[in-house]
C-alpha cells in the first residue's frame, strides 16, 4: 500500500515537472512568434516595399552580354 502511494507521488511529481517544461516551451514559442509578427515583419515589409519602389528598373542587356549568356 505504501509502495503504491509513493509510486503515485513520484509519478505526480514527474508529471508536474514535464507539464511545466511543456508549458514553458509553448510560452517561448508564442512569445517568439509574437515578436516576429509584430516587431520584425513590419520592418521587413517596409524595407521590401522601399527597395521595390526605389530600385532602378531592369535595363536591357547589351548584345555582347546576351551573346556571352547564350554561349
Residues of the chain with pLDDT under 70: none
pLDDT at residue number 67: 86
> In percent, how much of the chain has pLDDT > 70?
100
Q: Where are the domains of the chain?
A: 2-54
Q: Within the chain, what is the greatest distance between any pair of CA atoms?
A: 92
- How many angstroms separate the CA atoms of 61 and 69, rounded? 10
Does this model's pTM top 0.85? no
User: Which triple of cell numbers denotes residue 56?
Assistant: 532602378
Span 46-58, pLDDT tens digits: 999 999 998 877 7
- The pLDDT assigned to 55 comes to 83
Amino acid at each position: 500500500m505504501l509502495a503504491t502511494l509513493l509510486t503515485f507521488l513520484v509519478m505526480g511529481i514527474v508529471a508536474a515537472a514535464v507539464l511545466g517544461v511543456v508549458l514553458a516551451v509553448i510560452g517561448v514559442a508564442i512569445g517568439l512568434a509574437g515578436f516576429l509578427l509584430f516587431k520584425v515583419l513590419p520592418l521587413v515589409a517596409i524595407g521590401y516595399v522601399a527597395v521595390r519602389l526605389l530600385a532602378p528598373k531592369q535595363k536591357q542587356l547589351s548584345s555582347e552580354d546576351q551573346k556571352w549568356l547564350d554561349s
